[in-house]
Structure 1
Amino acid sequence: MATPNLKRRLSPMDAFFLYLEREEEPMNVGFVAQFEGKISPKQFRSHIESRLHLIPRYLQRVVPAPLNVGLPTWEFDPGFDIGNHIHYIKCDPPGDDDALRRTSERLFRGTLDRGKPLWEIYVIHGMKGNRTGMVTKIHHCMVDGIAGVALMYVIFDAWPKPEKVKKQKYNPAPIPNQAQLLYDALWDNAIDALDHWARFQKGLADYARGFTSSQTLDAVKEFAASMRDFLSPAKRMPFNKAFSGERKFAFADFSFAEARAIRAACGGTLNDVALTVLSGACQRYALMHGEKLRKRYLRVLVPVNIRTEDERGAMGNRISFLPVEIPLEVKDHIERLRIINETTQELKQSRVSEAVGLMFNALQGAPAPLQALALGSAARPTVQQALGMVWQVPPMHLICTNVPGPQIPLYSVGKRLLNYYGLLPIALEMGISCGITSYDQRLFISFIADGNAAPDVDKLMDFMRECFIELRAAAEVKERHVVELAHAIRAQEAEMARGNGHDNGNGAVKRRVRKPKADTPKAIAVAPADTAASVN
Structure 2
Amino acid sequence: MQQQLTDMEAMMWALESNPNLASTMGSLMILERPPDPEWVHAAWSKAVAAVPRLRLRVEGSSLGLGSAHWILDTTFDLGHHVRYLRLPARASYQDLADTAVQWINDPFDRSRPLWECLILSGLPGGKGALISKLHHSIADGLGALEMAGEIYDFGEVGPKPKPRDINQVIAELIAEEKVAAVTTKSNDSGDSDDHHEPGGRNILGRVGSVASLLADRHRITAAGNDAVNAARAVANQFPGLGGHSGSPLWAERSRNRRLEWLEIPLDQLKTAARTRGVRLNDIFVAASAEGVLRYHDEFAVQLPEISSTVVVSTRRDGDDPTVNAFTPASIPLPGHGVGTEERVAYINSEIQLRRDALRSHRDLLGSVSGLAAALPSNLTASLTLDQARRVDLATSNVPGPPLPVFFGGQLIQRWIPVGPVSGTALNVTLLSYNDMCFVGMHIDPSAVAETKLFKNCLRAGFGDLGVRARIR
Q: TM-score, normalised by structure 1?
A: 0.71
Which of 289, 292, 303 is the equivalent residue of 1:282? 292
Aligned ranges for residues 99-498 of structure 1 at < 5 Å? 99-158=95-154, 159-162=156-159, 164-165=161-162, 167=164, 169-170=168-169, 171=171, 172-173=173-174, 187=193, 190-192=196-198, 230-236=241-247, 238-243=249-254, 245-293=255-303, 296-315=304-323, 317-330=324-337, 332-348=339-355, 351-354=356-359, 357-366=362-371, 369-370=374-375, 372=377, 374-375=379-380, 380-381=381-382, 383=383, 394-428=389-423, 430-472=424-466
Q: Secondary structure at the match of 1:73?
A: strand
Distance in 1 between residues matched to 2:407 and 2:372, nearest whole Å: 43
Are residues 140 and 93 of structure 1, via their aligned partners in 2, closer, same or farther at CA, if it must alter by over 3 Å?
farther
Are residues 133 and 189 of structure 1, via their aligned partners in 2, closer, same or farther at CA, if it must alter by over 3 Å?
farther
Distance in 1 between residues matched to 2:130 and 2:274, nearest whole Å: 35
Aligned ranges for residues 79-90 of structure 1 at < 5 Å? 79-90=75-86
Distance in 2 between residues matched to 1:289 and 1:300, nearest whole Å: 20
Q: Secondary structure at the match of 2:302?
A: coil
Q: Which residue does the alignment assign to 2:209?
A: none
- Deviation string for 1:230-286 (max 9, x for gaps)? 32323425334222x221111111011010011111221111100111010000112
Query: For the Cα contact (< 8 Å) 1:92–1:100, is it kept in 2?
Result: no
Which of 11, 21, 34 is the equivalent residue of 2:6? 11
Distance in 1 between residues matched to 2:352 and 2:13, nearest whole Å: 33
Query: For the Cα contact (< 8 Å) 1:120–1:137, is it kept in 2?
Result: yes
- How far apart are residue 193 of structure 1 and its match? 5.0
- How far apart are residue 422 of structure 1 and its match? 1.2
Query: For the Cα contact (< 8 Å) 2:308–2:331, is it kept in 1?
Result: yes
Q: Which residue does the alignment assign to 1:95?
A: 91
Query: For the Cα contact (< 8 Å) 2:12–2:136, is it kept in 1?
Result: yes
Query: For the Cα contact (< 8 Å) 1:319–1:357, is it kept in 2?
Result: no
- How far apart are residue 65 of structure 1 and its match? 5.3
- How far apart are residue 357 of structure 1 and its match? 3.7
Cα root mean square deviation, aligned: 3.3
- How far apart are residue 100 of structure 1 and its match? 0.9
Query: For the Cα contact (< 8 Å) 1:330–1:336, is it kept in 2?
Result: no
Supply the AA of the counterpart residue of 1:310: G
Query: For the Cα contact (< 8 Å) 1:252–1:444, is it kept in 2?
Result: yes
Q: Secondary structure at the match of 1:114?
A: coil
Are residues 480 and 30 of structure 1, via their aligned partners in 2, closer, same or farther at CA, if it must alter by over 3 Å?
closer
- How far apart are residue 333 of structure 1 and its match? 2.8
Query: For the Cα contact (< 8 Å) 2:14–2:64, is it kept in 1?
Result: no
Distance in 1 between residues matched to 2:200 and 2:78, nearest whole Å: 39
Supply the AA of the counterpart residue of 1:452: S
- Deviation string for 1:83-104 (max 9, x for gaps)? 1111101225533321211111
Q: Which residue does the alignment assign to 1:489?
A: none
Are residues 35 and 238 of structure 1, via their aligned partners in 2, closer, same or farther at CA, if it must alter by over 3 Å?
same
- Deviation string for 1:25-81 (max 9, x for gaps)? 432112011011121333312321133111121111111159965321111111111
- How far apart are residue 288 of structure 1 and its match? 2.0
Q: Which residue does the alignment assign to 2:58?
A: 62
Distance in 2 between residues matched to 1:264 and 1:100, nearest whole Å: 36
- Deviation string for 1:372-425 (max 9, x for gaps)? 4633xxxx45x57xx86xx6x845322101010111000012100111111122
Distance in 2 between residues matched to 1:66 and 1:371, nearest whole Å: 9
Supply the AA of the counterpart residue of 1:338: A
Distance in 1 between residues matched to 2:132 and 2:63, nearest whole Å: 32
Query: For the Cα contact (< 8 Å) 1:85–1:121, is it kept in 2?
Result: yes
Distance in 1 between residues matched to 2:244 and 2:82, nearest whole Å: 43
Distance in 1 between residues matched to 2:164 and 2:19, nearest whole Å: 36
Q: TM-score, normalised by structure 2?
A: 0.80
Distance in 1 between residues matched to 2:276 and 2:132, nearest whole Å: 37
Are residues 66 and 17 of structure 1, via their aligned partners in 2, closer, same or farther at CA, if it must alter by over 3 Å?
closer
Distance in 2 between residues matched to 1:240 and 1:480, nearest whole Å: 28
Q: Secondary structure at the match of 1:277?
A: helix
Distance in 2 between residues matched to 1:68 and 1:330, nearest whole Å: 44
Distance in 2 between residues matched to 1:271 and 1:124, nearest whole Å: 32
Are residues 356 and 247 of structure 1, via their aligned partners in 2, closer, same or farther at CA, if it must alter by over 3 Å?
farther
Are residues 309 and 149 of structure 1, via their aligned partners in 2, closer, same or farther at CA, if it must alter by over 3 Å?
same
Query: For the Cα contact (< 8 Å) 2:401–2:433, is it kept in 1?
Result: yes
Distance in 2 between residues matched to 1:327 and 1:194, nearest whole Å: 37
